[in-house]
Amino acid sequence: MGNRFITSLFGHLGCAALTAALASAAGCGSDSTSSGAAGSPQTGGSGGAAGSAGTAGTAGKGGTGGSSGCKADGECKAPTAKCDTTTGKCVQCLPASDNCSKGKYCAAATMTCVDGCKSNDDCPASTPPLTCDVSTHACVGCNGSDDKCPAGQVCQADKCVAGCTAKHACPSPKQCCNGQCEDTTTTEHCGSCQPCASPLHTVTACVAGACSVESCDTGFADCNALASDGCEIDTNATAEHCGGCTTKCDLPHAFAKCDAGTCGVSSCETGWGDCNADPSDGCESNLAIEVANCGTCGNVCVAQPGAAPTCAAGACVPGTCLSGFVDCNADPTDGCEVDTLGDPDHCGGCSVVCPSVANGARACSQGVCAVGACNAGWGDCDGSLWTGCETDTLIDTDHCGTCGFVCPVPPGQQPSCAQGMCGGGQCNPGKANCDGNASNGCEVSLADDVANCGACNNACPAIVHATASCTGFLCGLGACDAGWGDCSGGTVDGCETDLNTSVDHCGSCTTVCPAVANGSRACDAALCKVGACAAGFSDCNQTVSDGCEVNTKTDALNCSACGQVCPTPANGVAACTNGVCGLGTCNAGFANCDGDATNGCEFATQTDPNNCGGCGVKCFSGTCANAQCTCLKTVLILKDDSDSGSQALGNAIQAAGYTVTYSAAPAYQYTGANPALSGFGAVVVLAGGPSGQPSVTTDMPVAGQTALVNYVSAGGGLVLTEWAAYHVASGRWQTLKPLVLLSRNVAYAGQVTYTVDAPYATHPIWAGLPSSFTFASTSNVGMAVTGPGIHRIAGSPQSVDAVVIRDLPVGRVAEIAHAGNYAPNGWTNTNIQKLVTNSVGWVARCQ
């Protein structure tokens, strides 16, 4: 603003008059014109240049101010050729890069070149030389005073020379050290006049005025980041910093060492050993318990018979028995001496003695009694323990010499077995050995051999126009000539019938051209032909073999005439009745339950609970999905006198996702109303218990039995146990008897093995169970009753038929030959619990 004001006020005087007083004013430049033309509107907005000296010019008009000012020298022009980027103005000079001519310096206040020195080069030659005092911009001599010398120089012989004193300091950032200005960024003078220390194994550096470690000798490291002690750590031998500052030797159960920068084991903790000589896992072996390193590395504990080796407190001791082995004599010196998987005197457990075997030896296989070696000439061919070695392999043609070896049947002879060797017997009826060769047996059939008809060498004579035959041991007529047949059945007239034209013998004596679907018949070239069709029938496919094949009164595709197709009814298939279109069959999943053909098949049997899978099929659960009634996952247990046993079984069923209800009274007090059976998907009747208890000796009220029978008849599911067969055999449960699936002869107590029958291995009742399992049981020994829908699922060597089901369209029944609650924990076996739970799911149609 000041320059523009002065230029405007004195512009008419010219530049010469203002040079001395206003050397820094704008507008005095080489580009001024005598006419006082306005200066260019530069970025900084300077006023117009003044007219040249001598001629009063008209004051130039101020240039238009720039919007943001200059940003670089290239935007400015002489005489203000420099850009002050802090203000955005074009100026004559900048102090930071003084471009003024010799004898002048750049005044910071005005950014113009004024008289004065800016360096010693601006001072005239003199003896002693003059020095430029840049603070005053005057060339001076020092006259013995350091203060007259610039910083970093002192006065000697009336001239300023390099040096410093405590009172006359050095220019920043140098410091005065012993009379000289020193750079304090080097290791000789780092941050002060003192040099950096040089610890062993260390190369130092000066960083930001502080000594630091630049690098370390190989094998050493500066782990504490202190320059004073340099590279203080030997990483080749220091366990805390082995191979590097951050690598600490920390080995399990070991006192570590560092050797050549690698961690190793110095010694082990008490009770531990480095038995694999691998330092990476330290002292890995627990010498107190490892059988391969018991007490010391390499000391292996030796196993006793039937027992696993054991190490305890660093000493080998007798171990636990291996699977299947038992210490039956309680003598530790001979270990686990009994193999209960193979010892018939301790089969499955100590003192469990296998029974004797007929015609053979006892055996124990995987803890289960079995047939061992059979006596000579005998074999266990049915695989049953109870029949022993039942087969005489010396004479049995189906097991000759060994089980399963069936004697081959010689041609025309009976097989035989003698002393375990197969041979040939007498000829079969109608067979004969006409060639006298025993190797091909009775090779001739006397009933049909024309060369040996009825007897060896009795050849049938030839018949004119026909071949001879032997039938039923008698000679007769064989094949007729082509086109002729012996249709009368006698040999006298030979082959008397022309098979090419006879409609009763067309092509053969037995081929009678049938009446053609209400049409006439014919025989031409031994082929039956179709004549005219009767009323109501048509030959729509023009095929002779089926004659007038279409009944236009019943064919929906040809109803009343060929090609007349009946329209398709809703959800069904069209039908033709007396030549009139109507409803035939329904599509899968639909049914015409109201008998009205006009609305087609109106009921969806996939989802209708009153017509589930078919008309009138009502779902016991009230819900139908995919044409199957959905199950009720609610179970009623009619308990017996053992609440704990019943509870154990109920808990297993409930754990499978079912809601279990226990009857308030035991089964022998069940009346059908305590509780009622409605709302339950399955009922489990236990009805047993310890000997002498009421559940074992008391009949169920007839009302309760009747309720169960009606419940199953309505679609409910029933699960029974061995007790059901027991009660029926004892004269009780006579109303419920039709639902009891097992008979009862005697009972068996002990280890029982259930094995699923192969056809039912994937049945839902056996889901999740092994194909065979053994458990302690008091089991029914009896056979399954016969009847519609009754099938055996599993058998047992002890109880014969073990698991039986009745599968009928309405209700389902499952019975298991196990007397639960007769002995303590009778329902605790997990396989039996799973079997009962699966049975519940199956009878309730949940599986």
Write the DSSP assignment of 496-525 as a string of letters: -EETTT-SSSSSSTT-PPPPBTTEEEEEET
What does the pLDDT average to over 245-273? 88
**Percent of the chain with pLDDT strictly greater than 70:** 91
**Helix (H), strand (E) counts: the chain:** 6, 55
Q: What's the one-letter identity of residue 452? A: N
Give residues with Cβ within 8 angstroms of 341, minimum separation 6. Answer: 324, 348, 364, 365, 366, 367
Q: What is the pLDDT of residues 599-653, one digit of tens each?
A: 889 899 999 888 888 887 777 777 888 888 788 999 999 998 888 888 989 999 9
CB atoms within 10 A of CB 641: 21
Band (pLDDT 50/70/90 cuts) for residue 495 is: confident
Q: Which structure tokens are listed for 613?
A: 């899978």
Q: Is residue 44's pLDDT more than 70? A: no
- Residue entry with tokens 């009847």: 787
Q: Is residue 9's pLDDT more than 50? A: no
In angstroms, the CA 246 to CA 250 distance is 12
Q: Which of 778, 840, 804 is nearest to 636 (CA)?
A: 840
Cβ proximity of 601 and 587 under 8 Å: yes
In angstroms, the CA 439 to CA 436 distance is 9
Q: Which of 806, 612, 811 is nearest to 716 (CA)?
A: 811
Q: Is residue 31's pLDDT more than 80? A: no
pLDDT at 346: 92
What does the pLDDT average to over 744-773? 94
pLDDT at 39: 34
Class of domain 632-843: alpha beta
Q: What's the one-letter identity of residue 141? A: G
Q: Which of 212, 261, 255, 214 is nearest to 238 (CA)?
A: 261
pLDDT at 63: 38
In angstroms, the CA 286 to CA 275 distance is 10
Average pLDDT of the chain is 84
User: How is 524-563 classified by DSSP, letter by letter?
Assistant: ETTEEEEEEEPTTEE-TT--STTSS-EETTT-TTSSSSTT
pLDDT at 6: 29
- Who has greater pLDDT, 492 or 279? 279
pLDDT at 462: 77
Residue 148: phi, psi to the nearest 5? Answer: -85, -5
Give residues with Cβ within 8 angstroms of 206, minimum separation 6. Answer: 185, 186, 187, 190, 191, 196, 212
Band (pLDDT 50/70/90 cuts) for residue 26 is: very low
- Who has greater pLDDT, 831 or 846? 831
pLDDT at 674: 96
pLDDT at 225: 80
In angstroms, the CA 264 to CA 283 distance is 10
In angstroms, the CA 825 to CA 778 distance is 12
Q: Which of 95-109, 142-156, 448-462 has the lowest average pLDDT?
A: 142-156
Q: What angle do CA 12, 15, 16 make, to 5 degrees?
A: 115
pLDDT at 825: 58
Q: What is the pLDDT of residues 557-592, one digit of tens each?
A: 999 999 999 988 999 999 999 999 888 889 989 999
pLDDT at 40: 35
Give residues with Cβ within 8 angstroms of 650, minimum separation 6. Answer: 635, 637, 660, 662
Band (pLDDT 50/70/90 cuts) for residue 198 is: confident
**Percent of the chain with pLDDT strictly greater than 90:** 34
In angstroms, the CA 429 to CA 444 distance is 11
Q: Which structure tokens are listed for 68?
A: 């943001």
Cβ proximity of 804 and 784 under 8 Å: yes
pLDDT at 25: 33
Q: Which of 221-230, 383-392, 574-583 has the lowest average pLDDT?
A: 221-230
* Domains of the chain by residue range: 1-96, 116-179, 183-234, 235-283, 287-338, 413-445, 552-630, 632-843
What does the pLDDT average to over 798-823? 88
In angstroms, the CA 627 to CA 634 distance is 21
pLDDT at 689: 81
Q: What is the pLDDT of residues 393-440, one digit of tens each?
A: 998 988 999 999 998 877 777 777 889 888 766 788 888 888 877 667
pLDDT at 823: 66
My answer on whether omega of the bond before 128 falls inside 30° of 0, hence cis, is: yes
pLDDT at 743: 92
Cβ proximity of 537 and 522 under 8 Å: no
pLDDT at 78: 86
pLDDT at 424: 67
Q: Is residue 480's pLDDT more than 90? A: no
